[in-house]
């Protein structure tokens, strides 16, 4: 069967995952059309509402009940990934249990015959906040405040249940009317972003379109960095929404994805008076919004409840002022539509009814679990494990996973093994973990097969056995398990459990890469860059590096930085090179930190020479025990570049790097002992370190040894031997030294020496 591009409609072979033309995901079968399209057995689609790179939304009708609903079809083929399918079901269930007047109601969720997940939701008549802002640019603050408070109410409700939205933006806020024609906001796509990003299995960054999970204009700094996020990430995103709604402009701008990431990490938003000088917005409201936009989560409000309290207090103050006639209308007011964003704060009776409904659903889930339903038992185990709907409790997770596993519910068998492996909720026991993984593997569960293969590959709780690792990774990969596909690439690349086969390695890396596996995307990029197992193709390499880098793979960010610096596969762009390298460095990659420091040190990539900045970047890397950075700090400290000259500090850094075997540091440390730089002179230590450096074919150390024997020992014969060793390695200074001794270089004929 052919696959079809979700954007352009082009048809491609079934094995292809991304459209070669526009980078959008491919789906099985003919192009999606609203006409006569059925989703599941109970719904018929009437029209298409919207379409994007990751999904399409349809207006549909429940055939039996004759009820209008909205169906979001997620354009990801999960049919061959049982673990991803299970995770989708659990995450969707968490979203569907949420019951709040300002959160869209999810009725059910399932998969099409081709493995594409879909959610059936209430159909909302209204417009998105994005549409409102496109038409009217901004909302006067008097009308915006009640809107913000209602959105806070929804987020408070979700966060108390440890459910995070992850993709707050104006297009995910609908403005609808209730039965009394009173408008109110409704959050949509709650938690949907996580369904794609879990464990990297279903994530697929779209390189050419620049689409990411979480919208770049509204992503928190920690989300941009791929870090673990909590409710304060939603708070930052909501702050971006509030800023834009009030001023008509997003708080953070950039020319592309990376520019936005950089800006979220470093740039401060303009004040309201700078970005919207003609609007009158209370300073207190600006202060509230800017607090939500702090770069560090610790500097924002602690909870959404705290933010809501300040907004409610401000609304009370403004209402009182208006009553006294102190506030007149704003010329930017929009008559009919802006009146639709002035909802009252959600009545407590509605919230109480929602909570009762939510609790009833959880009670029903518990009742099914207690009655022995393994699916319900697994869902409870997962909720306790993730801390969704309940406080995180590994012991409860272990209890419910054990119940379901006893009925051979394969997903619970996997997670029971995971708890034993990690020592979560139970004493760590590798033997029991292996037993669980083997049980699930024998039942044909792909993720269990992959986990079992990992235990063999890394020798966790058993001896390393690459043959068994290869066997089980093949079984899992055959069932579509993307991580095992990438693992097979590694086994074939390094000849572990099989003959080394770079073509096979490339094949498996490419299969995993096309399914969105970031590490494999980086590795197939490296294969294309160097012509390993495939025909060399620099453009293809850069494309895959971009895919992986946009998923947060630090090594890919570094590789992409080199591509832009050297013009390999992409046009030379020093600014992009620096930004990608800095992006990786900020994420903690020491190689990237060293390059950023080096470019500042030498004034490369369009930068001015800046020793203090170089010193700071080398320090970041050195504190992670990177030997090159430690050596460079020694050099800068010795000569006073970017920092006050400090020979003792230089000696200390040289010692750290030399102890890790860095020949440059061993040479510099030897000179410290020779000349008493930062330490006492010590001929034994000098000779110890200079010989270590020379043993690594460091020609400067060889020349130094030659000079030592010539100058101090008065032994020109031994000196000549060392000069000759360096000359054999192509050192011109060594050849000149031989000439000074009246000897001609005899490259390749040296022997002995001490």
Please tell me the predicted confidence (pLDDT) of residue 205.
29
Nearest to 171 by CA among 49, 297, 309, 307: 49
Question: Is 67 strand, coil or helix?
Answer: strand
Task: State the pLDDT confidence band at 181, using cuts at 50, 70 and 90.
Answer: confident
Sheet hosting strand 11-12, strand order edge to edge: 11-12, 3-5, 26-28
pLDDT higher than threshold 90 for residue 374: yes
Dump pLDDT digits (tens) for 533-546.
Answer: 999 999 999 999 98
Question: Is 210 strand, coil or helix?
Answer: coil
Mean pLDDT value across residues 727-752: 78
Task: State the pLDDT confidence band at 515, using cuts at 50, 70 and 90.
Answer: confident
Please tell me the predicted confidence (pLDDT) of residue 46.
82
Q: Which of 330-334, 579-583, 634-638, 719-723 has the lowest mean pLDDT?
A: 330-334
In terms of pLDDT, which residue wins out, 387 or 661? 661
pLDDT higher than threshold 90 for residue 378: yes
In terms of pLDDT, which residue wins out, 343 or 400? 400
Please tell me the predicted confidence (pLDDT) of residue 705.
96
Dump pLDDT digits (tens) for 281-301.
Answer: 999 999 999 999 999 999 999
Q: Is 744 exposed, middle or buried (0-12, 13-18, 19+ CB in 10 A)?
A: exposed
Do 634 and 595 meet the contact criterion of CB atoms below 8 Å apart?
no
CA distance 474 to 469: 8
Q: Which of 80-84, 176-180, 228-232 has the lowest mean pLDDT?
A: 80-84
Mean pLDDT value across residues 22-26: 52
Give the chain's radius of gyration (CA, Å): 31
Mean pLDDT value across residues 503-518: 91
Mean pLDDT value across residues 141-160: 92
CA distance 747 to 65: 90
Separation in Å, CA 515 to CA 16, 392, 481:
9, 31, 10
Percent of the chain, pLDDT > 70?
Answer: 82
Please tell me the predicted confidence (pLDDT) of residue 51.
67
pLDDT higher than threshold 80 for residue 276: yes
Neighbours of 439 (CB within 10 A): 19
Q: Is 629 exposed, middle or buried (0-12, 13-18, 19+ CB in 10 A)?
A: buried
CATH of 32-122 given 3.30.750.24, 3.30.1490.190, 3.30.200.20, 3.40.50.2000:
3.30.200.20
pLDDT higher than threshold 50 for residue 753: no
Task: State the pLDDT confidence band at 125, using cuts at 50, 70 and 90.
Answer: confident
CA distance 498 to 677: 53
Give the per-residue SS3 of 316-344. HHHHHHHHCCCCCCCCCCCHHHHHHHCCC
pLDDT higher than threshold 50 for residue 7: yes
Neighbours of 455 (CB within 10 A): 23
Dump pLDDT digits (tens) for 663-693.
Answer: 999 999 999 999 999 999 999 999 999 999 9
Please tell me the predicted confidence (pLDDT) of residue 9.
62
Mean pLDDT value across residues 99-108: 86
| Per-position DSSP letters for 416-461, written without gaps between them | HHHHHHHTSSS---HHHHHHHHHHHHHTT-HHHHHHHHHHHHHTSS
Q: Is 392 exposed, middle or buried (0-12, 13-18, 19+ CB in 10 A)?
A: middle
CA distance 311 to 149: 6
pLDDT higher than threshold 80 for residue 280: yes
Question: Is 122 strand, coil or helix?
Answer: strand
CA dihedral angle for residue 671, residue 672, residue 677, residue 681, rounded to 10 degrees: -100
DSSP label of 265: H
Nearest to 635 by CA among 611, 613, 610: 611
CA dihedral angle for residue 398, residue 404, residue 408, residue 412, rounded to 10 degrees: -50
Do 345 and 312 meet the contact criterion of CB atoms below 8 Å apart?
yes
Please tell me the predicted confidence (pLDDT) of residue 460.
95
Please tell me the predicted confidence (pLDDT) of residue 202.
28
Give the per-residue SS3 of 504-553. HHHHHHHHHHHCCCHHHHHHHHHHHHHCCCCCCCHHHHHHHHHHHHHCCC
CA distance 70 to 98: 17
Mean pLDDT value across residues 709-726: 93
For the entire predicted model, the pTM comes to 0.73
45-54, 216-225, 317-326: which is most confident: 216-225
In terms of pLDDT, which residue wins out, 648 or 210? 648
Q: What is the phi/psi pair of residue 222, to 5°?
A: -70, -30
For residue 260, what is the enclosing H or E element? helix 257-266
Q: Which of 66-70, 230-234, 687-691 has the lowest mean pLDDT?
A: 66-70
pLDDT higher than threshold 80 for residue 356: no
Nearest to 164 by CA among 185, 202, 190, 189: 190
pLDDT higher than threshold 80 for residue 570: yes
Give me the residues paired with residue 187 across strands: 103, 173
Please tell me the predicted confidence (pLDDT) of residue 500.
97
Mean pLDDT value across residues 123-128: 88
In terms of pLDDT, which residue wins out, 477 or 12? 477
Question: Is 365 strand, coil or helix?
Answer: helix
Do 48 and 56 meet the contact criterion of CB atoms below 8 Å apart?
yes
Do 28 and 49 meet the contact criterion of CB atoms below 8 Å apart?
no
DSSP label of 32: P
Please tell me the predicted confidence (pLDDT) of residue 344.
43
CATH of domain 127-326+337-355: 1.10.510.10
pLDDT higher than threshold 80 for residue 583: yes
Mean pLDDT value across residues 200-228: 57
In terms of pLDDT, which residue wins out, 350 or 358? 358
Please tell me the predicted confidence (pLDDT) of residue 331.
34
Please tell me the predicted confidence (pLDDT) of residue 333.
36
pLDDT higher than threshold 60 for residue 516: yes
Mean pLDDT value across residues 342-349: 47
Please tell me the predicted confidence (pLDDT) of residue 81.
56
Question: Is 109 strand, coil or helix?
Answer: strand
174-178, 411-415, 742-746: which is most confident: 411-415
Do 264 and 272 meet the contact criterion of CB atoms below 8 Å apart?
no
473-477, 711-715, 745-749: which is most confident: 473-477
Task: State the pLDDT confidence band at 64, using cuts at 50, 70 and 90.
Answer: confident
Task: State the pLDDT confidence band at 118, using cuts at 50, 70 and 90.
Answer: confident
| Per-position DSSP letters for 632-680, written without gaps between them | HHHHHHHHTSSS---HHHHHHHHHHHHHTT-HHHHHHHHHHHHHTSSS-
Q: What is the phi/psi pair of residue 135, to 5°?
A: -85, -40
Classified by CATH at the fold level, domain 517-587 comes out as: 1.25.40
Length of the chain: 754
Q: Which of 50-59, 176-185, 482-491 has the lowest mean pLDDT?
A: 50-59
Task: Output the average pLDDT for the chain.
Answer: 84
pLDDT higher than threshold 50 for residue 591: yes
Task: State the pLDDT confidence band at 463, using cuts at 50, 70 and 90.
Answer: very high
Report domain extents, the chain: 1-31, 32-122, 127-326+337-355, 517-587, 697-754
Task: State the pLDDT confidence band at 30, using cuts at 50, 70 and 90.
Answer: very low
Task: State the pLDDT confidence band at 14, using cuts at 50, 70 and 90.
Answer: low
pLDDT higher than threshold 60 for residue 638: yes
pLDDT higher than threshold 60 for residue 26: no
Task: State the pLDDT confidence band at 226, using cuts at 50, 70 and 90.
Answer: confident
| Per-position DSSP letters for 126-189, written without gaps between them | EEEHHHHHHHHS---HHHHHHHHHHHHHHHHHHHHTT---S---GGGEEEEE-TTS-EEEEE-S
């Amino acid at each position: 069967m052919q696959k079809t591009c979700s954007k352009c409609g082009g048809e491609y072979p079934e094995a292809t995952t991304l459209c070669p033309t526009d980078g959008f995901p491919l789906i099985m079968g003919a192009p999606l059309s609203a006409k006569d399209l059925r989703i599941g057995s109970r719904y018929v689609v009437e029209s298409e509402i919207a379409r994007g790179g990751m999904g399409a939304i349809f207006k549909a009708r429940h055939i039996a009940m004759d009820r209008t609903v909205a169906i979001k079809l997620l354009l990801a083929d999960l049919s061959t990934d049982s673990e991803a399918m299970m995770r989708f079901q659990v995450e969707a269930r968490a979203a569907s249990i949420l019951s709040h007047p300002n959160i869209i109601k999810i009725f059910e969720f399932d998969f099409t015959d081709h493995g594409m997940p879909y959610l059936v939701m209430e159909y909302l008549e209204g417009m998105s906040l994005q549409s409102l802002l496109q038409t009217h640019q901004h909302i006067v603050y008097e009308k915006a405040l009640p809107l913000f408070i209602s959105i806070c109410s929804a987020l408070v409700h979700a966060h108390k249940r440890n459910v995070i939205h992850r993709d707050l933006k104006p297009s995910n806020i609908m403005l609808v009317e209730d039965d009394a024609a009173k408008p109110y906001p409704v959050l949509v796509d709650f938690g949907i972003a996580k369904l794609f990003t879990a464990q990297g299995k279903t994530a697929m960054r779209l390189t050419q379109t620049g689409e990411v999970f979480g919208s770049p204009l509204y992503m928190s700094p920690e989300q941009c960095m791929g870090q673990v996020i909590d409710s304060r990430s939603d708070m930052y995103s909501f702050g971006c929404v509030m800023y834009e709604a009030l001023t008509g402009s997003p708080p953070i701008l950039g020319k592309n994805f990376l520019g936005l990431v950089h800006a979220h990490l470093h740039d401060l938003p303009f004040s309201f008076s700078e970005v919207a000088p003609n609007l009158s917005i209370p300073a207190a409201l600006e202060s509230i919004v800017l607090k939500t936009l702090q770069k560090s989560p610790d500097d924002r409000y602690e909870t959404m409840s705290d933010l809501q309290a300040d907004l409610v207090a401000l609304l009370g103050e403004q209402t009182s002022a208006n009553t006294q006639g102190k506030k007149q209308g704003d010329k930017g007011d929009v008559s009919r539509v802006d009146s639709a964003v002035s909802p009252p704060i959600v009545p407590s009776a509605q919230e109480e009814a929602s909570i009762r409904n939510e609790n009833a659903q959880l009670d029903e889930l518990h009742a099914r679990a207690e009655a022995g339903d393994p699916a319900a038992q697994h869902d409870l185990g997962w909720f306790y494990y993730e801390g969704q709907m309940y406080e995180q409790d590994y012991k409860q997770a272990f209890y419910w996973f054990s119940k379901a596993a006893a009925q051979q519910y394969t997903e619970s068998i996997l997670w029971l093994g995971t708890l034993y492996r990690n020592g979560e909720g139970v004493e760590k026991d590798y033997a029991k973990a292996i037993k669980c993984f083997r049980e699930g593997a024998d039942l044909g569960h792909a993720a269990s097969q992959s986990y079992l293969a990992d235990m063999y590959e890394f020798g966790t709780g058993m001896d390393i056995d690459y043959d068994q690792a290869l066997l089980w990774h093949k079984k899992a990969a055959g069932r579509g398990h993307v991580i095992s596909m990438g693992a097979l690439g590694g086994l074939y690349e390094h000849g572990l459990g099989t003959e080394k086969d770079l073509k096979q390695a490339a094949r498996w890396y490419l299969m995993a890469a096309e399914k969105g596996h970031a590490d494999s995307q980086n590795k197939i990029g490296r294969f294309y860059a160097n012509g390993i197992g495939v025909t060399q193709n620099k453009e293809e390499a850069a494309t895959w590096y971009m895919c992986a880098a946009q998923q947060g793979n630090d090594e890919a960010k570094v590789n992409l930085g080199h591509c832009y610096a050297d013009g390999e596969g992409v046009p030379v762009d020093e600014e992009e090179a620096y930004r990608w390298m800095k992006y990786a460095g900020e994420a903690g990659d020491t190689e990237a930190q060293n390059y950023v420091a080096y470019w500042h040190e030498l004034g490369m990539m369009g930068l001015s020479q800046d020793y203090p900045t170089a010193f700071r970047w080398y320090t970041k890397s050195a504190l992670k025990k990177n030997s090159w950075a430690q050596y460079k700090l020694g050099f800068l400290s010795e000569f006073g570049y970017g920092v006050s000259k400090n020979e003792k500090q230089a000696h200390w850094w040289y010692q750290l790097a030399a102890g890790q075997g860095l020949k440059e540091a061993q040479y510099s440390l030897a000179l410290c002992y020779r000349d008493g730089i930062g330490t006492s002179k010590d001929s034994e230590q000098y000779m110890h370190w200079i010989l270590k450096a020379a043993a690594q074919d460091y020609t400067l150390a060889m020349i130094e040894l030659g000079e030592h024997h010539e100058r101090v020992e008065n032994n020109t014969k031994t000196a000549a031997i060392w000069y000759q060793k360096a000359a054999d390695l192509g050192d011109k200074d060594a050849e000149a030294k031989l000439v000074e001794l009246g000897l001609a270089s005899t490259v390749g004929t040296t022997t002995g020496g001490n």
